C-alpha cells in the first residue's frame, strides 16, 4: 500500500487569504510549506482510492501525475472534503485514452450522499451518470473493493451528520484515517459526547497492529467556544493523545493543519514531540507536505 498526501491543510488551506499570522506568513515566504485542502490517494496493486476530493483536487491530481481513480470515498459532507467531485467527471470521459465504460463508484453514508446529490445532481443523472453511489455502513467493510476498507463512526458536529473515519487494510498493512472529528464514537446515541473516545471502533479484532495513523490536528489546545464556532468540532492535541494511546500506531502523520497566531511548523513539531514524550508515547510522527507519500511504490 502507498499513501500519497495530496493535501495537508485545513478547510481554508495555508496560507489563508488575507491572514498575516506567523503560520501563513511562513508559508508565503517558503512555498513548500503552503498546504492545499486535505485529501488522500491510496494505491494498492489492485486499485486506486481517492479519499475526500476537496476544492484543490484537480491541481493535486495533476501534481501527482494524473493517476487513474478507480473509487472515491468521502468521509463527510463538508465542502473541503467533497466539492471536488465535479472535477472527477473528466475521468468518466477519458481513461487511458478511452471512454470510461461505467461511472466512478462513490462510497459515502446516506447523510453524506444527500449532500453530494443536492450539490451535484448532474453527476448522478440516470441517463448518463458520472458517479454511482454505494452506501457506506459504519462497522462493515465496503463492498466491491479489492482493498479492505472499514468505515467507523465519528462525531464532527451537527453540520456533518454521518461522518466517518476509515480503517484501510492491504497486503498486511493497516492504516487509520480519522478525517475530521471531535471524537470517535462507540455507536448510535452515545450519551456523553464530550471527551469521549472509543478505543476500538473496528469490531472484536480491535485496532492493534496499526502501521500508520493519519490524523487531523486542527488545534494544539482545546479550542475556545469562539474558535470552535468558527472552525467546527475538530481534533485538538490533547484529544489526539487519547486516540494515539488507544490505537498504538507504529507511525503518526498529522494533517489538516490550521493557522493561528504564534504558530510555525517548528512550534507544532516541538509541541507534539513534547506532548508525546510526556504521555509516554514513543511514536515517530511527521507533518507531511503536500505530495509526500508513505509506503511502497504500489503495495
Q: Is the pLDDT of residue 131 over 70?
A: yes
CA distance 198 to 270: 27
pLDDT at residue 249, as a whole number: 93
pLDDT at residue 28, as a whole number: 97
pLDDT at residue 53, as a whole number: 98
Q: Is the pLDDT of residue 174 over 60?
A: yes
Percent of the chain surpassing pLDDT 70 = 84
Q: Is the pLDDT of residue 61 over 80?
A: yes
Q: Copy the grid coordinates of residue 174.
A: 493497516
Tell me the per-residue pLDDT of 183-227, one tens digit each, with 9 for 90 and over.
776 444 333 334 444 444 444 344 558 999 999 999 888 765 555
Pairs from 119-125 (Cβ < 8 Å, separation ≥ 24): 119/82, 119/83, 119/85, 120/85, 120/86, 123/85, 123/86, 123/89
Burial (CB < 10 A; 0-12, 13-18, 19+), residue 163, is buried
Tell me the per-residue pLDDT of 102-129, one tens digit each, with 9 for 90 and over.
889 999 999 999 999 999 999 998 788 8
pLDDT at residue 94, as a whole number: 55
Q: What pTM value is reported for the model?
A: 0.90
User: What are the residues facing 39 on neighbouring strands?
Assistant: 7
Q: Which of 9-13, 88-92, 122-126 has the lowest mean pLDDT?
A: 88-92
Q: Is the pLDDT of residue 296 over 60?
A: yes
pLDDT at residue 227, as a whole number: 52
- Regarding the domain with residue range 2-295, which homologous superfamily does it belong to in the CATH classification? Ribonuclease Z/Hydroxyacylglutathione hydrolase-like (3.60.15.10)
Q: Is the pLDDT of residue 144 over 80?
A: yes
Amino acid at each position: 500500500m502507498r499513501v500519497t498526501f495530496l493535501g495537508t491543510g485545513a478547510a481554508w488551506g495555508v496560507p489563508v487569504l488575507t491572514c498575516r499570522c506567523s503560520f501563513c506568513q511562513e508559508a508565503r515566504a517558503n512555498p513548500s510549506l503552503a498546504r492545499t485542502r486535505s485529501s488522500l490517494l491510496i494505491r494498492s496493486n489492485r486499485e486506486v482510492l481517492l479519499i475526500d476530493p476537496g476544492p484543490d483536487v484537480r491541481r493535486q491530481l495533476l501534481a501527482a501525475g494524473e493517476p487513474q481513480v478507480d473509487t472515491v470515498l468521502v468521509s463527510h459532507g463538508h465542502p473541503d472534503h467533497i466539492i471536488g467531485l465535479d472535477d472527477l467527471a473528466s475521468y468518466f470521459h477519458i481513461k487511458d485514452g478511452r471512454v470510461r465504460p461505467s461511472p466512478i463508484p462513490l462510497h459515502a453514508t446516506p447523510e453524506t450522499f444527500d449532500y453530494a446529490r443536492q450539490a451535484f445532481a448532474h453527476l448522478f443523472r440516470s441517463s448518463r451518470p458520472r458517479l454511482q453511489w454505494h452506501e457506506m455502513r459504519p462497522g462493515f467493510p465496503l463492498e466491491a473493493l479489492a482493498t479492505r476498507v472499514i468505515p467507523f463512526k465519528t462525531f464532527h458536529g451537527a453540520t456533518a451528520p454521518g461522518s466517518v473515519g476509515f480503517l484501510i487494510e492491504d497486503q498486511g498493512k493497516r492504516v487509520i484515517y480519522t478525517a475530521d472529528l471531535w471524537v470517535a464514537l462507540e455507536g448510535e446515541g452515545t450519551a456523553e459526547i464530550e471527551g469521549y473516545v472509543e478505543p476500538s471502533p473496528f469490531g472484536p479484532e480491535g485496532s492493534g497492529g496499526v502501521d500508520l495513523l493519519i490524523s487531523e490536528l486542527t488545534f494544539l489546545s482545546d479550542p475556545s467556544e469562539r474558535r470552535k464556532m468558527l472552525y467546527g468540532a475538530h481534533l485538538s492535541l490533547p484529544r489526539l493523545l487519547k486516540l494515539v494511546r488507544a490505537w498504538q500506531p507504529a507511525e503518526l502523520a498529522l494533517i489538516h493543519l490550521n493557522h493561528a497566531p504564534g504558530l510555525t511548523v517548528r512550534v507544532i513539531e516541538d509541541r507534539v514531540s513534547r506532548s508525546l514524550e510526556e504521555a509516554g508515547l514513543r511514536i515517530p510522527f511527521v507533518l507531511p507536505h503536500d505530495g509526500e507519500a508513505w509506503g511502497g511504490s504500489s503495495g
